[in-house]
Chain A
Amino acid sequence: MTWSESISYRTVIGLEVHVQLLTRTKLFCGCSTTFGQPPNSATCPVCLGLPGALPVMNRRAFDLAVKAALALNCRVAGFTKWDRKNYFYPDLPKNYQISQYDLPFSEEGWLEIDAGQGPRRIGLIRVHLEEDAGKLLHDENGGGQASRVDLNRAGTPLLEIVSKPEVASPEETRAYLEEIRLLLRELGVSDCEMQEGSLRCDANINLHIPQADGSVAATPIVEVKNLNSVAAVERAMRYETQRQFEQFQKDGKKWGEPGVHKATAGWDENSRTTRIQRRKEEAADYRYFPEPDLVPVTVSAARVDEVRAELGELPAAQRARLPAQYGLSAYDAGVLTRQGRAFVAYFEEAARLCGDAKETANWLANDVLQALNESKQAIRYFPISAAGLADLIGEIKATGLNKQRSREVFAEMLAGCPSAKQAMDKLGIKVIADRDQLADIVRRAIAANPTAVADFKKGKTKAADAIKGAVMRETKGMARTELVQEILLEELHRAGSDADRG
């Protein structure tokens, strides 16, 4: 336990997430949004901010935004407009960003997350639609005299999702981002690739530390930027928690005191530290005003109902339903849900066909998931169909095939064998389920392992495993496991009582 963990305090984190919407074209012009195009090859007068060019709203971007807002349990406004956020920066060609200020298209939602301690709702302040800026490249050589700008990204549609400061730990930060990613990917709203910048996150963090006099001291808020992966966000929050706690012990500076300002820090993934950036002396003054080049948008209640009806079952609902309907643990339900709807559908079909949901979930969470990860495949391209997996599970139950040999059959099916039976034939597996035949093998194994028998009699029940191992070796793993276990115990007890009588 570290020093800061020994005193109870509350970590308060608010997250500002930007996701790029999955459109073919930009928010206000027909330039392509495809990632990785040659620099400045996807620009036009609108996204370059050339005089006289007029923006026109991308219908799909707005529809995707509404879909996301409803999935995030937000209230979608009947009337929304756009505003100019004015500031100067070399990656912003118009010297203003078209964003939403006082009438965002949605507000007041929540996202249910589960960081391992059960479901919890994180409140959302607002979700709004805005355009992205261009990309600034800092010249490492050339004496740092110039930077270069690529405006392909300028005007790309972004959804900004602002949480309330209700995220309470680094683990919850991770869970929040993973949940947004899962939700928006499943809905086809965004591909949420942090590496490609289609999901970006800024985190505001401070601590609430109880004081001896009963008051609670809040440490100065730090906004951490440059977070390029979910893992980096989690690490940055952990680092910043520790740093702020230690800093508070040193200087006792509190949020709200004169001279205490919000600081901006960049996360340095190499040193795994935050670096406080020079504070801008002036307060941000964006002089928002309504965007005269775009007309407002209205959304009818009927349209909202229509979009809501198309959402389908969302991850939070699946995590609740799977345990209720199939008796799965919350953990297993979480593992399945995290893989997306197609994976859950696969599970449900296989479970229905084989009649054993728990066993189906085990196979999916372990062997299937591992195979998918190794081949970097999605479940819909998985070589074993849901019916195939159900067949395997049914065959294992019918024959009592042990785990190791079951996995060999699974591997054979993975390589293309269409049924469990055929795979077993191919592997030469013929399960021995004949009681007399097995009893004979067990008795021989008992005779050959006197030490294990003696240990067993002394109460070391584990010693039976050695004998069982010998039986499985003898039968090349093809003996029906439960039957071996049953016969073995019978025989051992009999051997014991025979010995007592003798």
Chain B
Amino acid sequence: MSLDVEQIRWIAHLARLELADDEIDGLARDLNAIVSYMDQLQQLNTDGIEPLAHPLDVKNVFREDVPASSLAVDEALASAPDRRGNYFGVPAVLD
């Protein structure tokens, strides 16, 4: 499979990336290289091999349900581009 310009635009939109027209060709080339590599991998015979859900061979890692300290409100909001009182300000969202 290969990706066309419309698909590149769509993927960029989903990732909220703004692309200039002259960036698209280069990205299409790069992404197509990745996708064709994946196509190549698909040709491997994987009969009898369990799907891998995680690269680490580790399972069942839990923490106990015990409260730990949270950040102070000022710390939590320290990087907010638009702090409004003790809230994060965001552009108006209307449902």
Whether A266 pairs with B76 at a CB distance below 8 angstroms is no
Provide the bound-state CA to CA distance between A295 and B82, in Å: 35
Indicate whether B23 reaches chain A with its CB closer than 8 angstroms.
Answer: no
B31 shortest CB reach to chain A, Å: 14
Contacts of B62 in A (CB 8 A): 56-59, 62
Indicate whether B95 reaches chain A with its CB closer than 8 angstroms.
Answer: yes
Whether B65 pairs with A59 at a CB distance below 8 angstroms is yes
Whether B54 pairs with A90 at a CB distance below 8 angstroms is no
| Count, chain B residues at interface, CB 8 A | 37
| Count, chain A residues at interface, CB 8 A | 53
Contacts of B87 in A (CB 8 A): 39-40, 137, 148-150
Contacts of A144 in B (CB 8 A): 92, 94
Provide the bound-state CA to CA distance between A295 and B55, in Å: 9
A56-B61, A137-B87, A148-B90 known; A24+B67 contact, CB < 8 A: yes
**CB nearest to B55 among chain A residues:** A292
**CB nearest to B61 among chain A residues:** A295
Whether A38 pairs with B73 at a CB distance below 8 angstroms is yes
A32-B70, A295-B54, A297-B60 known; A60+B65 contact, CB < 8 A: yes
Provide the bound-state CA to CA distance between A299 and B1, in Å: 38
Whether B70 pairs with A138 at a CB distance below 8 angstroms is no
**CB nearest to B11 among chain A residues:** A287
Contacts of B14 in A (CB 8 A): 86, 285, 287
Indicate whether A342 reaches chain B with its CB closer than 8 angstroms.
Answer: no
Interface flags for A192-217 (1: CB within 8 Å of B; 0: not) read 00000000000000000000000000
Contacts of A40 in B (CB 8 A): 73, 76-77, 86-88
Whether B63 pairs with A58 at a CB distance below 8 angstroms is yes
Q: Which residues of A contact B (CB under 8 A)?
A: 23-25, 29-32, 38-45, 48, 56-62, 79, 81, 86, 88-90, 103, 136-139, 144-151, 266, 277, 285, 287, 290, 292, 294-298
Query: Can you list 14 A-B contacts (CB < 8 A)?
Result: A24-B67, A25-B67, A30-B66, A39-B86, A44-B71, A48-B71, A56-B62, A58-B65, A59-B62, A62-B62, A81-B54, A136-B90, A147-B91, A294-B61
Q: Which residues of B contact A (CB under 8 A)?
A: 14, 16, 53-56, 58-73, 76-77, 82, 84-95
